Amino acid sequence: MLEALGWGLLAGSSFLLGGLVALRWNVGNSVFLGALTALGAGALLSAVSYKLIAEAGRMAGGSGYVGAGLLGGAVAAAVVTSGKLRGGRLSGPPRHDPSFWIVGLSVIAEAIIITGGLLGSTGLSAAVLAAVFLCGFPESMADTGPLRAAGHTRAQIIGGWLAMMLLCGVATAAFTGLLAPAPEELVAFVLAFAGGGILTYVIVHMIPEAIKDAGAVTGITAAVGFGLSFSLIEILGAH
């Protein structure tokens, strides 16, 4: 549990670091920020594909839990990102209203990715941590400006990103403690559910935001992030 807490806090520190950078230097909507967001998106896609879903598939053993989890997580993420609970449409453009509770849902999904690495057959890899870190850093940088514009003070924003870091640590520890003794089929479903949510979030939120800022550079940096994460998985393995 303490190990899981530590890894979660380390990965979650990216949110606090990104927020502090954005408060210190006004990054705004820049090509750099868009490219950084795409880098994180590519890294997440790779980690979800080659670590999270691969591990879920090994645990489920063709029982269908992975497919059910993927679909469930995708639907849940689509409902949140489309704003359907606030009158939006699933088929409409995604609504980006920066708020810590929405970011918190993303943090919880990323905590499950770390949990999947901890519970997996090969252990937690540097690629998983790097992917979560590369996602949280640009996300908090991009959302800090709109949060300031919405009237949040510097202290409130720093406190919010600190809460996201703590949430990542606590959620990782909690999921690890709950899922460690659970049947492998249940663990596979939870991992796939998080994977489906992350895939949807990346496609309908991170990639469009990156394209808006960086244009076609998004594809290049997403490929770099994907390749970097994949290389870490292959080269470093469980180390």
pLDDT score of 146: 79
Domain count, the chain: 1
What predicted TM-score, i.e. pTM, was given to this entire model? 0.82
Answer for the pair 83, 97: CB distance below 8 angstroms, yes or no: yes
Question: Count of CB atoms within 10 A of residue 140's CB?
Answer: 27
Q: Which domain holds residue 142?
A: 2-236
The rounded Cα 50 to chain-centroid distance in angstroms is 15
pLDDT score of 155: 92
Please name the residues in contact with 23: beta carbons below 8 A apart, sequence gap of 6 or more. 144, 148, 154, 157, 158
d(CA 191, CA 110): 10
d(CA 108, CA 78): 16
- How would you write the pLDDT of the chain (239 residues) with one tens digit per residue? 778 899 889 989 999 998 898 888 776 667 888 888 898 889 889 888 887 888 888 888 777 899 999 999 999 888 877 766 556 667 666 666 667 777 888 888 888 888 877 776 566 667 677 777 877 888 788 788 778 877 888 899 999 999 999 999 999 999 999 988 889 889 899 989 989 988 998 898 889 888 988 899 999 999 998 988 888 777 765 44
Q: Rounded to whole angstroms, what are the CA distances from 24 to 7, 10, 204, 213? A: 26, 21, 29, 20
Of 51, 189, 35, 66, the residue nearest 114 (C-alpha) = 51
